[in-house]
Structure formats: structure tokens, C-alpha cells
Structure 1
């Protein structure tokens, strides 16, 4: 039973030491770049309607 407790204690102390990312020295903090969120402008309604209508008219003209 002592060996089991000793193994559990050693693994508990060894886990954080081995948790660093591979290839980085101990104690080095890995910095992630900040995420920048930009709001996009909504497409104007006429442009959103005119282009599909022109496409439908073009297809109808070619089909005739």
C-alpha cells in the first residue's frame, strides 16, 4: 500500500513538470496572439437584390 501511495504522490508532482509544450524550456510561457474581432458592414439591400436579378435575366435571355 505504501508503494501505491508513493507512486501516486510522485506522479502528482511530476505531472506539472512534464506538462510544458514539447520543445519549450521549463518556465517559458507560451503567449497566444490576441484575437481581433472586426464587425463587417452589411451589404446594401439594392446590391443584394440587383445582382441575382441580373443573373436570372441573363439566364432567361440565354435560354430563349
Structure 2
């Protein structure tokens, strides 16, 4: 009788190891980090271009 109870207990314990569904695992999308363009170059170039335009207009 003890062997029967032990076998029943082990079979119940073993069946819970396979619990769950066969659904596909959900994968998180890869995080892509894009570096921002440096605004310090635009901060210098734009005033220099405007200064060159103003100097060209004043020269005429």
C-alpha cells in the first residue's frame, strides 16, 4: 500500500513539472539607441553663414 501511495504522489508531483502551454515565448524587442547629432556644430555654423551673407550684401 505504501508503494501505491508513493507512486501516486510521485506521479502527481511529476505532472506539475510539465504544467504550462506550448505557446511561443514572448521576446522583448531589441532596444536601439541612436546618438543625437551634435548641436554645437550647428550653433557655430549658422551664425557664420548669416555673417557671411550679411558681409556679402554689405560689400555690394
Interval containing the TM-score (normalised by the shorter chain)? 0.3 to 0.5
Say which one has the larger Rg. Answer: 2
**Which structure: greater helix fraction?**
2
TM-score by length of 1: 0.33
Greater RCO (CA < 8 Å, at least 6 residues apart): 1
